[in-house]
């Protein structure tokens, strides 16, 4: 797989925690996965917004029924 090298600016406390958690050699992989997850969340939010615009909001009774479901771990 090919990679691109970029420069990012982080708050000092964020950088320090990143270095502690990921280690110097694992920072790129950690940041890559974090960005990948954020991009997925953004795509899902856009899709939900489009579905809401097309079909309207989820009815409250349906929302409550889903909230009451037990989800697997």
**For position 13, what pLDDT does the model report?**
98
Query: 10: alpha, beta or left, given left = phi > 0 and alpha = psi -120 to 50?
Result: beta
pTM for this structure?
0.74
Q: What are the backbone angles phi and psi of residue 11, rounded to the nearest 5°?
A: -65, 145
| Whether pLDDT at 63 is above 90 | yes
**For position 25, what pLDDT does the model report?**
84
């Amino acid at each position: 797989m090919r990679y691109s090298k970029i420069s990012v600016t982080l708050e000092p406390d964020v950088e320090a925690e990143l270095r502690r958690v990921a280690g110097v050699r694992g920072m790129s992989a950690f940041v890559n996965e974090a960005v990948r997850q954020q991009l997925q969340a953004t795509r899902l939010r856009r899709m939900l917004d489009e579905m809401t615009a097309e079909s309207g909001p989820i009815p409250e009774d349906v929302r409550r029924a889903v909230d009451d479901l037990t989800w697997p771990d």
